Amino acid sequence: MSTTEVVVTGIGATTPLGGDVPSTWDGMIAGRSGITANADWAVQHDLPSRLVAPLAVEPSEVLPRVLLRKMDRCEQVALIAARQAWADAGFPRPSDEHHPVDPDRLGVVIGSGMGGPVSLLAQYDLLRQGGARKVSPLAVPMLMPNGPAAYVGIELRARAGVHSPASACASGAESLAHAWRMIRSGVADVVVAGGAEACIAPLTVAGFAQMRTLSQRNDDPDRASRPFDVDRDGFVIGEGAGVLVLESAEHARARGAAVYGRLAGAGITSDGYHITGLRPDGAGQVNAMRTAIRSAGLVPSDIGHVNAHATSTVVGDISEAASIRAAVGDHPVLTAPKGSLGHLVGGAGSVEGIITLLSVYHGVVPATRNLDNQDPRVELDVATGEPRKIRLDAAMTDSFGFGGHNVALVFTAA
């Protein structure tokens, strides 16, 4: 693979903390929570967990009605974040007369852990109630996991490849890693990449609850998600999307683009161990981190900050902490955004990638919300209380998913 530098020229997001990147970042710095208790259908279905992290801004406030009617919510949030990122990169929307990028050198990689389960469930209800004629002819495009990537690719007329990794909670980060590879290998000059998820529904919440992965702190939603805390009892399911515009440094320079930083390295591994369980020795996680650092041309001591996957589960947080110590050491400052955002599943890795990038860009590590009593087995420096001001030349973000998917990304200053 070449030594082509990959830079970030645009970022976009819609999350439980805000409808764009500035409001999401401000929410992280201020230590706000996007988590609430959904008492209505949770009580109706007797769910042990009534906690969710819904979007702060509804897609209906952003997209026209015609798109809302034909797109699944996951596709909607992906398109919203992609439009923001594209505009932030300084690109006008493609027109019949002009395209700001050679379409044959433009790619899209947007992953989703679940695709469109909300649309699938709604269409199944219509089928049961009124027969096949009640089912929308757009049912399949709404539920297919490649829908978010496809809609963005069509809008931007991308022809270098449109891809949609489905790697559970690692999908968003894996999308960025694949986009990085596309540019480094010379397949594309520009790739719009990220992850999206919108799967808050009784069935998905019930399924996660049956696995005993969700917090049941129903009476105190603001304090429910507690990464690395001794009182953590599971994660809170959220929704949202994060999208980045990645470019070769040469392409960005040629058009005079502003640059946030570099996506300098990426590592993807798999455990080959269990569909939901963690490999006991953590080797897959460690190898993903080491690969990301090595591919960035760095050594572990160069990594000043780690944005941890840390979902707030009893076992997962400890395993990740041990992996970070093994791969990087105990010197980096950590943060865990899911205390504020909840767990955005397929959108988590890309939204947290943006947060990591901004930590390097601004020299600030957001504090981990609700970390009142750090588990003594987490032998790492986790930012708590107030944001940590620190000079950062390089930072890493981790993402892990059911099925044994492990992804690590390294961002460096421009």
Query: What type of residue is 83?
Result: R
CB 394 within 8 A of CB 297: no
Buried b (16+ CB within 10 A) or exposed e, 351-369: bbbbbbbbbbbeebbbbbb
Of 151, 146, 159, which Cα lies nearest the Cα of 189?
A: 159
Residue showing tokens 């957001």: 366
Distance between CA atoms of residues 124 and 344, nearest Å: 25
Please give the biggest Cα pair distance in the chain.
62
DSSP 282: -
Q: Nearest-5° angle of CA 333, CA 355, CA 221?
A: 90
The Cα 381–Cα 138 span in angstroms is 49
Beta-strand runs (E) in 226-363: 237-238, 240-248, 261-270, 305-307, 333-335
Q: Residues for the chain: how many in total? A: 414
Active site residue 274: no
- The answer to whether residues 242 and 112 touch, using CB atoms and an 8 Å cutoff, is no
Angle, vertex CA 295, rays to CA 290 and CA 297, nearest 5: 100
Residue 248 CB contacts under 8 Å (≥ 6 apart), including other chains: 4, 5, 6, 7, 183, 189, 190
Q: Please give the full DSSP string across 233-255, using - where no structure is assigned.
A: --B-EE-EEEEEEEEEHHHHHHT
Q: Which residues of 370-386 are buried (b: 16+ CB within 10 A; e: fewer)?
A: bbeebbeebebbbbbee
Handedness of CA 337, 341, 343, 346 (dihedral sign): negative
Our answer to whether residue 343 is catalytic in this structure is yes
Whose CA is closest to 50, among 184, 323, 234?
A: 234
**Is the CB of residue 168 less than 8 Å from the CB of residue 113?**
yes
Work out the burial of residue 18: count CB atoms within 10 Å of its CB; fewer than 13 is exposed, 13-18 middle, 19 or more buried: buried
| List 169, 178, 251, 305, catalytic entry | 169
List 163, 305, 309, 405, catalytic entry:
309
- Catalytic residue chosen out of the listed positions 163, 178, 305, 343: 343
Residues involved in catalysis: 169, 309, 343
